[in-house]
Amino acid sequence: MLVTIKNDYNEMSAEAARFIAERIRKKPTLVLGLATGNSPVGLYKELVRLHQNENLDFSRVRTFNLDEYIGLPAEHSQSYHHFMHENLFKHLNMNPRHIHIPDGMAKNIEEHCEWYERQIEKAGGIDVQVLGIGANAHLAFNEPGSSLGSRTRIKTLTRQTIKDNSRFFKTPEEVPQYAITMGIGTIMEARELLLLASGKKKAKAVKSAVQGPITAMCPASILQMHRKAYVLIDRPAAALLSDTQTFG
């Protein structure tokens, strides 16, 4: 695991974009795993800038998103389909057939999860998986206690997650209670992992993931076992780490 600390969110995002861009230029058919949430928004803005100003070509890149709410149509303003389209895809020269996001409206969710795993395999596996981290160190919707060998599946959202998400919906009843998520085992099969974390609210989770024991109660701690895991954070998120002078 390589930990890199930047001064702030903007520096972190720019460095993450350089990381991704370098790999796309080396491999134009890169298979890129993507995340939603606040952490990667700056990365996506910078990738758009690199495409528009420096001709970074996404025409052959293939993407797989980590998760999606069950029961929200793609056009819903809080769906991850909508998030990705607005923040990234509509600004790039991507082939729509190369974009993969779990379908929360699939008739048979379990079969769809198995199909999603097969699509990743058919693509040759994920080259780089972008990750965020929750305040409780969850990865995607893999909450504490999730199996470290889990695959893409249905997850029941915790009461805390539902409460946290309620601010995005008009009424509490509208908040989805279930989601499709890549499993931790699926995530760990990516050739490289890039974890982004910003702000002091993530400091405890970052410390547990980077310097704590490897345990299912801290899902992100499994990254310690990956051969090429990169943790890219800003100084507030690094506040609780010990011996930070040893990090880049």
Strand ranges in 53-127 using DSSP code E only, listed in sequence order: 62-65, 67-69, 99-100
Choosing from 46, 67, 68, 234, which is the catalytic residue?
A: 67
Main-chain dihedrals φ then ψ at residue 76, nearest 5 degrees: -65, 140
> Is residue 125 within 8 Å of residue 191, measured between CB atoms?
yes
- Contacts of residue 50, defined as CB under 8 A and 6 or more positions apart, other chains included, come to 17, 21, 56
For residues 204 and 26, give the distance between their C-alpha atoms in angstroms, rounded to a whole number.
35
Cα angle value 119/107/133 (rounded, 5°): 55
Stretch (H or E) spanning 231: strand 229-234
Is 136 a residue of the active site? Answer: yes
Residue linked to tokens 């699509």 = 119
Is 226 a residue of the active site? Answer: no
Is 67 a residue of the active site? Answer: yes
For residues 81 and 102, give the distance between their C-alpha atoms in angstroms, rounded to a whole number.
9
Choosing from 138, 142, 226, 234, which is the catalytic residue?
A: 138
Choosing from 46, 117, 127, 143, which is the catalytic residue?
A: 143
Choosing from 136, 174, 189, 192, which is the catalytic residue?
A: 136
216: nearest Cα among 114, 145, 111, 115 = 145
Is 142 a residue of the active site? Answer: no
For residues 139 and 161, give the distance between their C-alpha atoms in angstroms, rounded to a whole number.
13
Catalytic residue numbers, as ranges: 67, 136, 138, 143
